[in-house]
Amino acid sequence: MAGAATAGLEARKLVKRYGKQEALRGIDLAVEPGELVAVIGPNGAGKTTLLSILAGIVRPDAGEVSSPNGDIGWVPQQAALYRRLTVEENLLLFARLEGHEDPRRSVEEMLDLTGLRGRHDEVVARLSGGNQQRINIAIGLLGRPAVLLLDEPSVGLDPRQRARLWSFVLALAERGTTVIFTTHDIQEAERYGRRLLVLADGEGLFDGSAAALRDAVRGEAPEAAGSDFETAFVAFLQHRGH
Amino acid sequence: MYWLLLKDLQLLRRSPLQASLLVAYPVLIALLVGFAISREPGKPSVAFLNEVPAGARVAAGGTELPAVGAEARICAKVECVPVANRAEAEEEVRSGDVLAALILPADLVDRLNSLSTLNPRTPEVEVIVNEEDPLKAQVVDDRIESLLAQANLLVAKRIATEGGRYLGLVVDGGSFDVLGTPVEILGLRAAAKILQELRPAVPPAERAALDRVIRFATLARDNLDVASPLIDRLAQPIVVDKRSVSAPTPPLEVFAIVAAATLTLTFVVLLLVAGSLALEREENTFSRLTRGLVSRSALLAEKVGLGIAAGLAVTLLMLAGLQIFVSLDWGRFGLWLAAILFGGAALAAAGAALGATARDVRAVSLLAFMVSLPIALLSLVPSGTVGQTLYDAIRIVTALFPFKPALQAMTAALDPGHDIGGPLAHLAILAAAYGLLARFALRRFAAT
């Protein structure tokens, strides 16, 4: 993608409460440019809350987020686009709202990037979930962000669509875009996340590579060390009291 | 904001049902209102059976009054369906083909004539009704009471006129027919004069008795002169002198146009704005848009602008359609625009406030109907038709929603003699208040 900046993102001591419940308890996160970070954890861990705060949609009760050049792209879990408009109309609208000098050129660029050039004039509602998600991500990329936040991007996609989605995301990372994504699929996190951030009950339990997480399991729950990554991850959570 | 407006218009165009409804609705309303106001009010159908023998006349003082043409008069007020007998009349009513059956019995004139005899009998007409529902029963009762009052008034007027004529004969003298023979009446005036002339010729001892007769004739003449107008008033002792303390009431057709235009404006603007805002949430685009692409206030302004534009187009289309049926004063176009723009703005702001409270388009549409329909109906309740406390409550409730001031503004725009400044100021205040409410509601729009 042209124009991707080289800045990363940093979050310090993020706290978020919903009533008496603490959704985030002092989370720290520093992401280098071009990193691919997977945020994982059980339901209610605070994954979506963290991404919403990083995206600037939700205000934290404490802590702060900084992105040196200020460009953070956000792709919500459910596709945020107009289903009764065509692929091209959606992209053109958001390119215009982003203030692109040549919005049509940006649309062409995104159509090439998403591989949807042949379906540019189709109404979005008629596209598959996978293709809708590609447009959803493409809209998130229109602002040419240095950091792209993806909230459970592969939910509801079949294996073929998931594979196409991840090759698309990996290509973005290779071009220098920092990508932070949440997922429930532990295998997916292991496969695509260069770095894993484990959250449980709003607490940051682990921050490191998949291999480092396996090492941690080996140390803390040796009985699960030889099992698959998901079983090892569950044993790790149990050992930490979650 | 321009691109958002363009997007909303694209979405409208992409939804053929919604777009065609936006065009069809005002056209349909215009046609319905146009047909209704360009035609005479429908007369109720009444089966009519006249059993009174032909040539029967009401008599007063031994003289038959001229024919009153009862059948023609009744049938001018209602749509008469002639029937041959009572059974047919009953069947017509039972089947619902007519609202009621009116039967003038054969002895009606005899009974009327008996009123001036020593054995008066009450004249009766027969009415057969089918009061299958309360509304219909009320209509039938009102019509019958009205017809009966008119018939009674007609007979009383005839009798009073004839009575006055006879009184005139007694006072002033003249001639009238008795069984075809003219009879000369001297009259009190002439009698008093003759007696006065004879008085000098009467011996003084007998003048006292003559003076008593002269005094009686003079007194009777003078007092009966006063009695004549009293008899005239007997038929209708009370007349109505109506004065209005309000601005002149708009003609019924103007009121119908105003009500139709305001209802159209209300539903189109309210539903469109509320639905359009709720759609941003349903499509999950609200958070994406307000993450720096547009401010919440700008998004709100765009929705209000969309509502005003659609309301203006649809209401003008409706008024243009009504022009086929009634002549509208296009010289007041500037005032129409002001009323539609201010009304549209207040309704759009109210729609935005509604749209910000609901999660999806269907829920917000239902909510918009549930709020606007009763408010619109309450706004049409005239003062004095309900208790004062209830009316005060209605006034407060309807003043909080833009329908009533929009109705008043449209009335002032279409009909001269009404102040438009007050309703426009009211609408401006409501637009600002609902705008603030909507802006406040949008704060939690993305979070929930």
Q: Which of B294, B313, B299, B290 is nearest to B12 (CA)?
A: B313
Comparing A223 with B61, the larger pLDDT belongs to: A223
Reduce the DSSP state of residue A150 to 3 states and report it: strand
Cβ distance of A76 and B287 shorter than 8 Å: yes
A37-41, A187-191, B152-156, B355-359: range with lowest mean pLDDT: B152-156
Amino acid at B285: T
The answer to whether B381 and B295 have CB atoms below 8 angstroms apart is: no
List, for residues B270-299, the tens digit of each pLDDT value: 989 999 998 888 888 988 888 888 899 999
Contact A56 B292 (CB under 8 A): yes
Which of A55, A57, A81 has the CB atom closest to B285's CB atom? A81
Count CB pairs under 8 A between chains A and B.
Answer: 51
Residue range A4-47, pLDDT digits in tens: 444 478 889 999 998 888 899 999 998 888 899 999 998 888 99
B118 pLDDT band, cuts 50/70/90, is low
Higher-confidence position of A116 and B423:
B423
The pLDDT, as a whole number, for residue B66 is 56
Which residue would you say has higher pLDDT here, B234 or B291? Answer: B291
* Residue B353, both tokens: 């406030």
| Inter-residue contact A239 to A220 (CB < 8 Å) | yes
**What does the pLDDT read at residue B133?**
66
The pLDDT of B103-113, averaged and rounded, is 84
pLDDT digits (tens, 9 = 90+) for B340-378: 999 999 999 999 999 988 777 888 888 888 888 888 888
The arithmetic mean of pLDDT across residues B214-231, rounded, is 77
Q: Give the model's pLDDT for residue B235.
A: 66
**pLDDT value of residue B63:** 58
Q: How confident is the model at residue B249 (pLDDT cuts 50, 70, 90)?
A: low
Asked if the interface predicted TM-score (ipTM) of this complex is over 0.85, the answer is no
pLDDT of residue A157: 75
Contact indicator for B68, B58 with CB cutoff of 8 Å: yes
User: What percent of chain B shows pLDDT beyond 90?
Assistant: 20
Short-list B368, B394, B369, B372, CA closest to B381: B394
Nearest to B342 by CA among B259, B419, B436, B423: B423
Residue B41 confidence (pLDDT) above 70: no
Q: Chain A: give the shortest CA distance to residue B139, in Å.
A: 51
| Residue B243 at interface with chain A, using a CB cutoff of 8 Å | no
pLDDT digits (tens, 9 = 90+) for A64-106: 988 876 688 888 888 889 999 999 999 999 999 988 889 999 9
Mean pLDDT, range B240-255, rounded to an integer: 69
Q: DSSP string of B91-104?
A: HHHHHTSSSEEEEE
Q: Give Cβ neighbours of residue B131 (< 8 Å, ≥ 6 apart).
A: B137, B140
Candidate from A55, A85, A123 with C-beta closest to B291: A55
- On the question of pLDDT at B190 being above 80, the answer is yes
pLDDT top residue among B198 and A157: B198
Paired residues of B103 in beta bridges: B49, B126
Please write the tens of the pLDDT for every residue from B250-267: 677 788 888 888 988 998
Strand locations in B200-297, DSSP E? none
pLDDT score recorded for residue B343:
96
Chain A positions contacting chain B at CB under 8 Å are: 55-58, 74, 76, 78-85, 89, 93-94, 96-98, 123, 139
From B243, B115, B288, A216, select the one nearest A207 (Cα to Cα).
Answer: A216
Q: Quote the tokens at residue B137.
A: 């029963």
What pLDDT, on the 0 to 100 scale, is given for residue B187? 84
Cα angle A186-A229-A239, degrees, rounded to a multiple of 5: 95
pLDDT for the residue numbered A2: 39
Closest CA to A77 of A24, A29, A21, A129: A129
**The residue count for chain A:** 242
Neighboring chain B residues of A85 at a CB cutoff of 8 Å: 7, 10-11, 14
Is B61's pLDDT higher than 60? no
Q: How many CB atoms lie within 10 A of CB B252?
A: 11
Which is more confidently placed, A225 or A186? A186
* Min distance B26 CA to chain A CA atoms (Å): 25
**Radius of gyration over every alpha carbon of chain A, rounded to an integer in angstroms:** 18
DSSP A133: H
Residue A176 has pLDDT above 80, yes or no: yes
Cβ distance A93 to B284 less than 8 Å, yes or no, reads no
Buried b (16+ CB within 10 A) or exposed e, B160-198: bebbbbebbbbbbeeeeeeeeeeeebebbbebbbebeee
According to the model, what pLDDT value does residue A6 have? 47
pLDDT, average across residues B185-201:
85
What DSSP string runs through B282-329? HTTHHHHHTTTTS-HHHHHHHHHHHHHHHHHHHHHHHHHHHTTTS---
Mean pLDDT calculated for residue range B163-189: 79
For the stretch B121-142, pLDDT in tens is: 888 888 888 776 666 677 777 7
Task: Using the predicted structure, report yes or no on whether residue B31 has a pLDDT greater than 50.
Answer: yes
B57 pLDDT exceeds 80? no
Give pTM, 2 decimals. 0.70
